[in-house]
Amino acid sequence: MTPRSALEIVGGQPLGGEVAIHTAKNSALYLILASLLTDEPLVIEDVPRLSDVLVALEILAHTGVEVAWQGRDVRLHAREVRQTSAPYRLVSKMRASFVVMGALLARAGEARISMPGGCAFGPRPVDRHLKAFAALGIEVADDNGDFVARRRGPIAGKVVFEAPTVGGTQNVLLASALGDGAVEIENAALEPEIADLADLLNRMGARIEGAGTPFVSVQGVPRLRAARFRPIPDRIEAGTFMLATAATRGDVTLRGVRPEHLEAVRDKLTEAGVRVVDVARDALRIDATGELEAVDVTAVEYPGVPTDLQAPFGAFLATVPGVSVVRDRVYPDRFTHVTELQRMGARLELTERTLVVHGGPLSAAEVHAADLRAGGALVVAALAADGRSRVLGLEAIDRGYERFSERLASLGASVSRSDERSTGPARGASSSPGGASAASSGTGSAVVAAVGDASSASVRRAGTASTGRDGPSPSS
């Protein structure tokens, strides 16, 4: 018997009201890894209780980090590093876990990491991470499917990324912040999560300059200290709520956002006829009650439209009369949502990695989310569709949207979460365990409660680290 959860959504109701945006999962995942760089406590404030975060905390607990929730804050204390690898069962669930390699190299001088897992929408190789480490004098070898990395001296040198990589940039920052070497990064990723990590590391005593630009310099320091830090707001969660509002022709105010992180999304929605108004320094009003028109969208690196919002954008455009074209220059095969949207009556043509959208009315259907952002897209479509839809695959959605149904309901949506028992996987689902419940047992495992709209979890370090095939893995 396996759990089968779903969101039941009766669409056609415009969203209205206000919603507070949580801190960014895609920042928190990397901020917590910084705990490995110091033997003093690190507190990350207001951390979203998502399955990806819980997996990352379990990996840290395995290495010896003391992990404890204090309300919505997480306190991390790496008095010592007991393991320089992590269990494959955790690594395989989340791409972001590969970035633990940099932190372990900085603190312990070695790391054993498996090929990362995460969302299933095409290859996202880590070769740029490995080439960057080699450029810094780090030895990396492949040992039965695990990458084994060792530093023989100071981490120093120049990294030139052939294309910007968020995880690769973060890996280098974590590896080089602690020590006595000097590192230069050219063609670094520009995403706000890079600057957020650098801000935390600098607060801990690091010397990083240029984060958020293509050229970043790091001068290693011998020791990093304790800190408290709050991640930036989640621009992907904010963008999803913006697109859900637009798809339902609603009027919603988002609180706790960084408008400068949402400029590309704002520009495209404005082009489509949505009014996006600053109502405060950290608040935006999304008014989609007027006439809308089709627009073309291409997902690119920051500061462009994020690849994580490409699928939700396609769902919104499927409701807008006219013809739109959607492309993704970051992950060109990220279209697992297309077949499911077609079940809802969306008129879509996917040819040579280009999605042509003929917008119009959508109808309710049972659909399955194959990955996190496909799940966001299906929820957006179901909110706009006529009738009662059932969205399966919540183990994917739980990776990035906390208390999603509860918060949508607060905006007037007719949405509820149901949990069933079934004798097999849902249609289109993998038979492997999902990320909704990262619970584990056995000596040395971190105990993590299941994630759902009830969002309750705790992680504690327990016993001696386990043995067996180990190695961590990066996310969506």
Dihedrals phi, psi of 18, to nearest 5 degrees: -130, 150
d(CA 447, CA 468): 18
Which residues make Cβ contacts (< 8 Å) with residue 168, sequence separation at least 6?
126, 128, 129, 132, 161, 189
What is the crossing angle of helices 166-176 and 127-135, to 10°?
A: 30
d(CA 138, CA 105): 9
236 CA to centre of own chain = 8
Of the candidates 467, 460, 454, the one whose C-alpha atom is nearest the C-alpha of residue 394 is 454
C-alpha to C-alpha distance for 182 and 218, rounded to whole angstroms: 6
Residue count (the chain)? 476
- CB proximity list for 5: less than 8 A, separation 6 or greater: 392, 394, 395, 417, 418, 419, 420, 436, 452
- Identity at 423, one-letter amino acid code: T
Catalytic residue among 24, 42, 119, 156: 119
Query: Between β-strands 215-219 and 227-229, what pairing exists: parallel, antiparallel or unpaired?
Result: unpaired
Which among 299, 286, 278, 283 is positioned nearest to 248, based on CA atoms?
Answer: 286
- Nearest one of 252, 257, 268 to 234, comparing CA atoms: 257
Contact (CB, 8 A) for 72 and 47: yes
Q: Does residue 119 have an active-site annotation?
A: yes
User: What is the residue type of 300?
Assistant: V
* Residues annotated catalytic, as ranges: 119
